Amino acid sequence: MLNLLFLISLVSCSKNSIKEFQWPESTSAAVVTYVSIVEASYADSVSTGKEMTQRLNDLVNSPSQTNLIAARQAWLDAREPYLQTEVYRFYDGPIDHPDTGPEGLINAWPLDEAYIDYVDDDDTSGIINTQATIDAQTLASLNENGGEKNIATGYHAIEFLLWGQDLYNDSPGKRPYTDYLTNGAGTASNQDRRGAYLILVGNMLVGHLTQVHSQWVPNADYRVDFLANSHESFSKILTGMIVLSGFETGGERLQAALDAGQQEEEHSCFSDNTHRDMIQNVQGVANVWTGSYQKGDGTMISGIGIKDVVAQVAPDLAGRLDAQINKSLFLAQAIKTPFDQEIVPGSEGNARIQALVESLRAQENLLFEVFTTFGLSITIPE
């Protein structure tokens, strides 16, 4: 997981250099569009998160295969808008501010399953099978306590509690709904604690998403400041695009999995949903680039995008970058499921993943050109 300990820094050129560069008049309009997209996509993340928590409650209160399937689908649905928001990271904004940002409690990975619950070779492992208090303060304090894989909260903790370990080549995990039965007919121990844990992490997730969303709504202090400083904000927007494209998606999530060739290296390994992670991450970049976003209710936000601003300064560069983002999205959509079979060394899938990595790196390089063209610079983690 990338966090701000890697010291991503965005540095503008000197004041004189900024004055010499003629910012397009459309810059402010593009920032307005961006803020509208950010607010809407976080609103969708909160909404789908709330729907998911309802399904989690249904499962725990009335364990059945039907309710387990519904809870799993609600988790998959909740991932769709959130994954498109990851392009708003990497500039110390509300999601990953080093002091107040909850990103590590929302989407941290990779996750050591044995830190939360029983695993294949140890039926007593995990917080659930200890006497640890199951409350928000305790789980927040235990998240990444003692190691970055010691994940206790967030999407992937919920994913593991719904699917269990993925020990199969042709399917996701197969956790039975009976893990939540408390009438003596259940499987595994501590079913009541498991249910309490699942409901709690679902509620915590919605709370953290709401916290972030609240800073982007009209008249929120962060939003007002972001809109008031359009040149600085434009730089932040580009930072999110470039780091998500190359370092995070192309590197941490794809190249690392490709190099290891192991199930445990895929982003959503329990549900086999990693292909959607990749597609929606690239879609998030495309949203910001084009200035458009399809909301959960089907309506569209459409306005001046980053593409329009770049096109006013360097139309050829804008055209090349537009084509590259479209290529990356096409290659992400070409990934076959399950992802863990795509990364098997020597397979056809391996070549598909490598092609996407190379496209995202090319995308990153073109975004570097944008930084140079606009008189900006960015330090990318090694």
**Structural element, H or E, at residue 170:** none
Answer whether residue 193 shows pLDDT above 50: yes
Cα dihedral 229, 231, 234, 238 sign: negative
Stretch 163-185: mean pLDDT: 93
**Is-contact 272 75, C-beta < 8 A?**
no
Task: Quote the pLDDT of residue 314.
Answer: 97
Copy the structure tokens of residue 42.
């976080």
**Is-contact 284 84, C-beta < 8 A?**
yes
Domain ranges across the chain = 4-379
**Structural element, H or E, at residue 302:** strand 300-302
| pLDDT one-digit tens code per residue, 99-158 | 999 999 999 999 999 999 999 999 999 999 999 999 999 999 999 999 999 999 999 999
Answer whether residue 2 shows pLDDT above 80: no
**Is-contact 254 245, C-beta < 8 A?**
no
Task: Quote the pLDDT of residue 239.
Answer: 95
Task: Quote the pLDDT of residue 264.
Answer: 67
| pLDDT one-digit tens code per residue, 25-42 | 999 999 999 999 999 999
Question: Which residue in this structure is represented by tokens 């399953």?
Answer: 113
Task: Quote the pLDDT of residue 4.
Answer: 34
Stretch 54-65: mean pLDDT: 98
Stretch 279-305: mean pLDDT: 98
Task: Quote the pLDDT of residue 3.
Answer: 38
Q: What band does 378 get if pLDDT is binned at 50, 70 and 90?
A: confident
Stretch 229-253: mean pLDDT: 94
| pLDDT one-digit tens code per residue, 309-355 | 999 999 999 999 999 999 999 999 999 999 989 998 888 999 999 99
Least Cα distance to 329 among 208, 245, 238, 237 occurs for 245
Question: Looking at this protein, which amino acid is placed at residue 338?
Answer: P
Least Cα distance to 254 among 115, 110, 356 occurs for 356
**Structural element, H or E, at residue 11:** strand 9-12
Of 1.20.1420.20, 1.10.10.10, 3.40.50.180, 2.40.340.10, the CATH number of 4-379 is: 1.20.1420.20
Task: Quote the pLDDT of residue 303.
Answer: 98
DSSP assignment string, 317-353: HHHHHHHHHHHHHHHHHT--SSHHHHTSTTSHHHHHH
Question: Looking at this protein, which amino acid is placed at residue 168?
Answer: Y
**Is-contact 5 99, C-beta < 8 A?**
no
Radius of gyration (C-alpha) of the chain in whole angstroms: 21
Taking residue 298's Cβ as centre, other Cβ atoms within 10 Å add up to 6
Taking residue 333's Cβ as centre, other Cβ atoms within 10 Å add up to 13
Task: Quote the pLDDT of residue 369.
Answer: 96
The CA distance from 47 to 42, in Å, is 9
Stretch 180-202: mean pLDDT: 94
Task: Quote the pLDDT of residue 379.
Answer: 66
Task: Quote the pLDDT of residue 260.
Answer: 82
In three-state form (DSSP H/G/I as H, E/B as E, the rest C), the secondary structure along 201-219 is HHHHHHHHHHHHHCCCCCC
Q: How many residues does the chain have?
A: 382
Task: Quote the pLDDT of residue 380.
Answer: 63
Copy the structure tokens of residue 333.
């959509």
Q: What band does 187 get if pLDDT is binned at 50, 70 and 90?
A: very high
Task: Name the pairing type of β-strands 9-12 and 376-379.
Answer: antiparallel
Task: Quote the pLDDT of residue 346.
Answer: 86
Angle at 13 between CA 10 and CA 16, to 5 degrees: 150
Instruction: Give me the numbers of helices (H) and strands (E) for the chain, helices first please.
Output: 15, 4
Taking residue 5's Cβ as centre, other Cβ atoms within 10 Å add up to 8
* Range of lowest pLDDT (3-7, 218-222, 260-264, 358-362): 3-7
Copy the structure tokens of residue 108.
């941290």
CA dist list (Å): 345 to 124, 278, 336, 340, 353: 34, 19, 15, 11, 11
Answer whether residue 6 shows pLDDT above 60: no
| pLDDT one-digit tens code per residue, 251-290 | 999 998 888 877 667 889 999 999 999 999 999 999 999 9
**Is-contact 226 158, C-beta < 8 A?**
no
**Is-contact 278 14, C-beta < 8 A?**
no
Q: What band does 1 get if pLDDT is binned at 50, 70 and 90?
A: very low
Residue 247: CA atoms inside 13 Å, Cβ hemisphere, count? 22
pTM (predicted TM-score): 0.93
In three-state form (DSSP H/G/I as H, E/B as E, the rest C), the secondary structure along 92-128 is CCCCCCCCCCCHHHHCCCCCCHHHCCCECCECCCCHH
Stretch 299-305: mean pLDDT: 98
